[in-house]
Structure 1
Amino acid sequence: MMRRGCLLGIIAAIVLALGSLTWLLGGWYWGGPLEKDASFLVPDGASLKSVSEKLEREGAVSSASGFYMRARIFGAGGSIKAGEFSLPAGASPSRVLSILQGGEAVRRFVTVPEGMPSIMVYERVMGQSLLTGSVAVPPEGSILPDTYDFERGESRQAVLLRMQTAMQRTLAELWEKRSPDTVAKTPQEALILASIVEKETGKPSERRLVAGLYSNRLRQGIMLQADPTIIYPITKGKPLGRRIRQSEIQAINDYNTYSMVGLPKGPITNPGRESIEAVLNPAKTDALYMVADGTGGHAFASTLAEHNANVEKWYTLRKARGDF
């Protein structure tokens, strides 16, 4: 009888152990309660216990204590990352922990196109509802056009600082590689001229030629006569939405290159890397004039007579299109 009793006890213990193991493993690897994909935010400095409680509150796990216990057993010592994570519907506690430990954070992006003025960068950053805090309009030319990622809850100031740091590093890098042919005497002058090049042509293939043309005019003391420098004081770089008036062409200010020789006092937009490179390594050309050619590019000329002929062609084309 004793042997039979011992055998039954052993069997009962095995059954209990197997049941406990099934409960332990099943509660870890079986599907979870999430009915649909959900976003989950782990705050900076959050502990495993506080995250477990937050997961239960948001319906990602059935039990905070059960998740916490199993995570301590099966978590392999990995730490939970701060950030925003995407949890799939039905994710098991094991999968949830893997996501939170693996750093598979949701990445969000804000893009600054080449030639976007600072007032519009400001509006774009302020329009990101998942960022926090407020910022002032950044100095013109201080932002490097690019795509930047950010996390939910990050400050707008931190995002702008990354954009400005990227410009500082890029400008310093390109300045060190500048050609002796560049007319820019300082990195700031390169930035100013690059901003004009950026606004004057939408064709990447023209950038170095436009930079060469303006370099020639600066060396010879000829006014740059760049239309975007007329517009900047009026709109801070936003589209004018109409033709430039004669009074605006004649206006005297620190930006209008139709009424002054040399560079304006500062950038008129945020130039991209390629426009800065173009100014620091301009094309060798004798061009002094350019006018739109109707294809999105420009017709270049080295003499006023040749330029006037190109202007006449442009006006003839515009009349044929019904522009005026």
Structure 2
Amino acid sequence: MWKAVASNALTLFIVVLLLAGGLVIWAKQKYAAPGPLETAICLRVEPGSTMAGVSRDLGGEGAVSHPLIFRLGARYAGKDAELKAGSFLLPAQSSMEEIVDLVTRAGRSTCGTDVNFRIGIASAELQVRTLDPATGRYEEVLAFDPRAGEVPEGYDALMAEPDLRYRVTLAEGVTSWQVVEELKQAAFLKGEIAELPAEGSLAPDSYEVTPGMDRGTLLVEMAERQSALLDRLWETRAEGLPLASKEEALVLASIVEKETGVPDERRRVASVFVNRLERGIRLQTDPTVIYGLTDGKAPLGRGIRQSELARQTPYNTYLIDGLPPTPIANPGRASIEATLNPETTDYLYFVADGTGGHAFAQTLDEHNRNVARWRKIEAGQGGN
């Protein structure tokens, strides 16, 4: 009898173990399987929240089908105590495992309102956008120039929202003076700027910042990023360039940056200046003349006068040989790459062609014909 009881007990125990093992396997599969979300959502995790509370919210949102498995899975993975506060974008069909990773991963929110202070060539703009979870795209809510002094209606309410993300974005070709002056208008930054960064030393890029970040610290990050980029690209340069140093490359890249905004032209424009340097021909480029007149403090806003073309400055490449002493703006990656790997051409000249691009020429006669064509286009535009 006792043998039978023991046998039955052992059988029952084995069955229980098998059922428990099967349940664990089933739970693991559910934890890693695609979830029920049909469209992406933003999940808000308040400070002080617990994984149990988040699991209930997820269940209510229809993001998980088994909140208990979500909690147990997070605990088993050792992440139940690593919950981060913020707003998180949960893609459609996110598994419970993926959601746990999203809400416990170190870093900032991935959903919500984006405040981007954009510093452009002619002006700055504070742009506020919100993320549409369904499309994964940011939609502009409002934008304005902080210097204008008029804050749009609704701005204060937007700034009171949780989990705002702040960025500062530099356009290619801005000058260091422009960057410094515009950063002073960014009310979410603090601190005085001790000195003007060297021209060309700041990387045009997008920088994620935190409210109260020191302006000087941000400028250091911009300079470090540009220096690292220049170091990397210098190592990939074409052989035989008439550039003795990375500093000279940065000077020429800034000229290429200011001469064309057409991506496909950059390497061709760079080839013109490389050819001129190799043949000892003066660069004769208007952006350098303008920099000598303005010190990079503002766009000239008009054409260059003949008297200004004849004015002696260290940047007047109609009068000086070779490169000017410093960059004339902060060039972006594409212009630096183009400068260090220009096209192989025989072009020595270029002029605007009326389409936003340029007409290139090998000889002065050909160039003069292109210039005459451009003059006619200019005259026609002026008559409209």
TM-score by length of 2: 0.59
Distance 1:186 1:292, change over 3 A: same
Is 1:211–1:279's contact at 8 Å kept on the other side of the alignment?
yes
The answer to whether residue 189 in structure 2 is matched with residue 131 in structure 1 is yes
**Which runs of structure 2 are paired with 1:208-227 in the superposition (5 Å)?**
208-227=267-286
Tell me by how many angstroms 1:181 deviates: 4.0
- Return the offset for 1:119: 1.1
Q: Counterpart of 1:177? A: 236
Task: Work out the CA distance in 2 between the residues paired with 1:102 and 1:212.
Answer: 46
The residue type equivalent to 1:123 in the other structure is E
C-alpha distance in 1 between matches for 2:105 and 2:268: 51
Instruction: Give the secondary structure class of the aligned counterpart of 1:178.
Output: coil
Q: Aligned letter for 2:285?
A: A
Name structure 2 gaps, 5 residues minimum.
1-43, 49-74, 89-101, 110-162
**Structure 2 CA distance for aligned equivalents of residues 139 and 150 of structure 1:** 22
Residue 318 of structure 1 is matched in structure 2 by: 378
Matched, 1:205 2:205: no
User: 1:293 touches 1:314 (CA, 8 Å); kept in 2?
Assistant: yes
Equivalent residue number for residue 26 of structure 1: none
Is residue 117–residue 236 contact of structure 1 (8 Å, CA) maintained in 2?
no
Q: Does 1:279 align with 2:339?
A: yes
Q: Establish whether residue 231 from structure 1 lines up as the match of residue 282 from structure 2.
A: no
- Deviation of 1:230 after TM superposition, in Å, equals 0.7
Residues 104-148 of structure 1 deviation map (CA, whole Å, 9 limit, x = unaligned): 454210110001111111122222111110113211000010111
Q: Which residue of 2 aligns with 1:33?
A: none
| Superposition deviation, residue 189 in structure 1 | 0.4
Q: Verify the 8 A CA contact 1:144 1:166 in the aligned structure 2.
A: yes
Amino acid at match of 1:151: T
Higher relative contact order (CA 8 A, sep 6+): 1
The question of whether the paired residues in 2 share the 8 Å contact of 1:182 and 1:282 is answered with no
Match of 2:349 among 277, 285, 289: 289
**What fraction of aligned residue pairs are identical, expressed as a percent?**
47
Residue identity matched to 1:157: G
CA distance in structure 1 between the aligned counterparts of 2:196 and 2:187, rounded to whole angstroms? 17
Distance 1:147 1:102, change over 3 A: closer
Q: 2-side partners of 1:250 and 1:284: how far apart?
A: 32
Q: Deviations over 1:70-106 (max 9, x none)?
A: xxxx99554978xxx679xxxxxxxxxx989964454
Indicate which of 113, 120, 135 corresponds to 2:178. 120
Question: How many residues are matched?
Answer: 245
For 1:120, what is the secondary structure of its paired residue? Answer: helix
More helix by share: 1
Q: CA–CA distance in 2 between the matches of 1:252 and 1:323? A: 34
Query: Structure 2 counterpart of 1:285, which letter?
Result: T
State which of 191, 197, 212 in structure 2 corresponds to 1:153.
Answer: 212
Query: Aligned runs of 1:31-46 on 2, under 5 Å?
Result: none
Once the two structures are TM-superposed, the CA of residue 182 in structure 1 deviates from its matched residue by 2.4
In structure 2, the CA distance between the partners of 1:101 and 1:290, relative to structure 1 (3 Å rule), is closer
SS at match of 1:108: strand
Instruction: Provide structure 1 residue ranges, at least 5 long, that are not aligned to the other structure.
Output: 1-37, 43-47, 49-73, 88-97
Structure 1: which 4+ aligned runs deviate by more than 3 Å?
74-81, 98-106
SS of 2:188's equivalent in the other structure is: coil
Q: Distance in 2 between matches of 1:129 and 1:239?
A: 24
Instruction: Give the secondary structure class of the aligned counterpart of 1:290.
Output: strand
**Could you say which structure has the larger radius of gyration?**
1
Contact 2:83 2:103 (8 Å CA) reproduced = no
Q: Alignment partner of 1:322: what SS?
A: helix
Distance 1:202 1:99 in 2: 41
Contact 2:82 2:104 in 1 (8 A): no
Shift of 1:239: 1.2
Q: CA shift at 1:322, angstroms?
A: 1.9
- Tell which deviates more after alignment, 190-199 or 235-244: 235-244
1:68-147 alignment, distance < 5 Å: 77-78=81-82, 103-105=107-109, 106=163, 107-135=165-193, 136-147=195-206
Deviation of residue 277 (structure 1)? 0.7
SS at match of 1:300: strand
> CA contact under 8 A between 2:168 and 2:208: conserved in structure 1?
yes
Are 1:195 and 2:223 counterparts? no
Q: Please identify which structure carries the higher strand content.
A: 2
- 1:187-230 deviation digits (Å, cap 9, x = unpaired): 00000000000000111110000100000111111110000011
Matched AA of 2:177: I
